[in-house]
Amino acid sequence: MNVRAIEHVGITVPDIEEATRFFVEAFGAQKLYDMLDEPLGGPGVEAGLGIPAGAVINVIRMLRLGNGPNLELFSYTGVAQAQPVVPSDFGIQHICIYVDDIDAAADRLKQAGGILLSQPNDLPGLDTGHGNRYVYTRTPWGSTIELVSYPSAQAYERQTPFRRWRPTKTSLDDLKSQSQ
């Protein structure tokens, strides 16, 4: 098997421009492109995506976020939509964004219109380590985003030779300046 990484996370949003603004202001996301020239719907799309009859995708927008997976934002019309899931619901229920300075990231998220569900806390259990912290937040439309930073070794590392993914220190800006 040739699994390399998560390439993108798809998020359906109520307002594509507001969601783009939020991700740009909160996380420095870069808008890459809008995928569609015209709305996309019909029986083939409904069957292929497992969506209800009458659902139409108006916009699919790709954003770049740091040096992790991309974010793919979707805007639908034509069907009733449920509220975003919360962490106790079945299925994919949050995304987690690694940040270097969790306090600054939490402040930036709040300034962009997001909601902190608490203040940043120390990571518990086998994630513990000096400076390892997290906080759960909500987007302006209610989706859950966890912010996490684990600059130190985590307690689990004493129990197994396997390691979680960690972001590289190289950013897109670093790569651009190296090529000039």
Domain hosting 169: range is: 83-180
Residues 73 and 25 in one domain: yes
At residue 176, the pLDDT reads 60
Inform me whether the pLDDT recorded for 103 exceeds 60. Answer: yes
At residue 4, the pLDDT reads 80
Specify the number of domains making up the chain.
Answer: 2
Q: Reduce the DSSP state of residue 65 to 3 states and report it.
A: coil
113-128 tens-digit pLDDT: 999 999 999 999 999 9
Report the distance separating Cα 76 and Cα 119, nearest Å: 33
92, two tokens: 């994919």
80-98 tens-digit pLDDT: 999 999 999 998 999 999 9
Residues 60 and 90 in one domain: no
At residue 165, the pLDDT reads 85
2-32 tens-digit pLDDT: 888 889 999 999 999 999 999 999 999 999 9
At residue 166, the pLDDT reads 83
Residues 137 and 48 in one domain: no
Query: Where would I find the beta strands (DSSP E) of the chain?
Result: 8-12, 30-34, 40-41, 56-64, 70-77, 95-98, 115-116, 121-122, 133-138, 144-149
At residue 167, the pLDDT reads 81
With 0-12 / 13-18 / 19 or more C-beta atoms within 10 angstroms meaning exposed / middle / buried, residue 117 is exposed
120-179 tens-digit pLDDT: 999 999 999 999 999 999 999 999 999 999 999 999 999 999 998 888 776 555 556 555
- Enumerate residues 6+ apart whose C-beta is below 8 A from 27: 65, 66, 97, 105, 108, 109
Angle between helices 102-111 and 16-27 (to 10 degrees): 150
Report the distance separating Cα 14 and Cα 154, nearest Å: 37
Q: Taking the model in full, what pTM does it have? A: 0.87
Inform me whether the pLDDT recorded for 101 exceeds 60. Answer: yes
Among 30, 64, 81, residue at a domain's last position:
81
Between the CA of residue 81 and those of 51, 77, 78, what are the distances in Å?
11, 9, 9
Residues 87 and 76 in one domain: no
Report the distance separating Cα 101 and Cα 62, nearest Å: 25
38, two tokens: 């015209």
Domain CATH for 10:
3.10.180.10
Q: What number of residues does the chain have? A: 180
